[in-house]
Amino acid sequence: MSELLKQALKRGPECPEIEVLIESLESPNTSAGVRRHVADCAACQAEVALYQGFEASTPVSGEERQAVDFIVARLADRMLPPKRESVFARLFGSLTPVRMGAFAMAAAVVVLGVGLTTQWRARQVEPVAETGIVRSTKIRVTTPLENVSRAPAEIAWQAVEGATTYDVSVAEVDRTVVFYNKFTTSVLPVPADLARLLVPGKTLTFRVTARDSAGKELATTGAVTLRVDVAGR
């Protein structure tokens, strides 16, 4: 290709900085000079087109959609949940050491008093029979996944009341996410690219998180081992 043409297609010293170029084009006060330059400059037009492509995040192809889901799942996996500020820090963060000591003494007296009272009451009251009901936020996976003779065609789990979506992820043992998607039903028809990973002897972890319409987590399966037995080869 002609060197002269390549030069005409590259950004030159007269081109504005890309950041300035993008911001000025979005501004109604963009100077006529910048607009004139962009109209004549292929490289600046390409930069504008690239930024517009970035802003239009909807994947064009199925391959891109899968890649984006995979990358987003990996990013989300590596984003740690916010550190919670302890109630102690919020209440006592601004106290001086002397005041802190006084609070500690008072708290010790209260704890001692409550402890003695509880012990005394325990001797007076008959024990109450346990109900046997255990509250849990665990979702049970209904399809057997561990040491199965062949890879399942679909994976089902207990539906959760109030759940509108189920985040499903499959990860390697090193926590690398190899599959991630959202479903509205409590069953995952195993797609071909996931089925290919379910080779005998390979251990993966399967996780479903149920969310309500606001995106709030309702329940989770936790990490469930997914492994096809070598004998099933």
Partner 1 sequence: MTPELTLHAADCIGDRHSGLYSDWMRDVSPNTSDEELVAVFNDSRSSAAQRDRAVNELFSRYHSKVAAWCFRVVGDRDWAADLAQETFLKALRALPGFRMDAKFSTWIYMIARNSSFNAREARAMRPSAEVDPEMADESERIDEILESAGELAQMREMLRVLDDTERAVMALHYGEEMTLPAVTRLLRLDNQSGAKAYIVSAKRKLKSAVARWKSSGSPERLS
Q: Given the rule CB under 8 A, which residues bind partner 1?
A: 1-11, 18-19, 22-23, 26, 40-43, 45-46, 49-51, 53-57, 59-61, 64, 66-68, 70-72, 74-76, 78-80, 82-85, 90, 93-94
d(CA 215, CA 24): 36
Burial class (CB in 10 A: 0-12, 13-18, 19+), 77: middle
- Sign of the CA dihedral with 123 first, then 125, 131, and 134 last: negative
- For residues 229 and 148, the answer to whether their CB atoms sit within 8 Å is yes
CA distance 102 to 86: 20
Residues 6 or more apart whose Cβ sits within 8 Å of residue 44: 11, 15, 16, 21, 37, 38
- Cβ of residue 155: shortest distance to partner 1, in angstroms? 23
Please, what is the minimum distance in Å from the beta carbon of residue 220 to partner 1?
Answer: 19
Which is nearer to partner 1, 30 or 66 (by Cβ)?
66
Q: Determine the Cα–Cα distance for residues 124 and 196; give it in Å rounded to an integer.
A: 64
The pair of three-digit structure tokens given for residue 23, joined into one six-digit string: 């911001």
CB of 190 to partner 1, least distance (A): 19
Query: Please, what is the minimum distance in Å from the beta carbon of residue 114 to partner 1?
Result: 27
What are 217's strand-pairing partners?
211
β-partners of residue 228 are 148
Q: Which one, 54 or 120, has the nearer CB to partner 1? A: 54
Between residues 10 and 233, which has the closer beta carbon with respect to partner 1?
10
For residue 137, the minimal CB distance to partner 1 (Å) is 22
Pick between residue 53 and residue 232 the one whose CB is nearest to partner 1.
53
Smallest separation, CB 7 to partner 1 (Å): 6
CB nearer partner 1, residue 40 or residue 130: 40
CB of 196 to partner 1, least distance (A): 15
CA distance 170 to 100: 48
The residue among 204, 197, 210 whose CA lies nearest residue 224 is 204
Closest to partner 1 by CB, 52 vs 225, is: 52
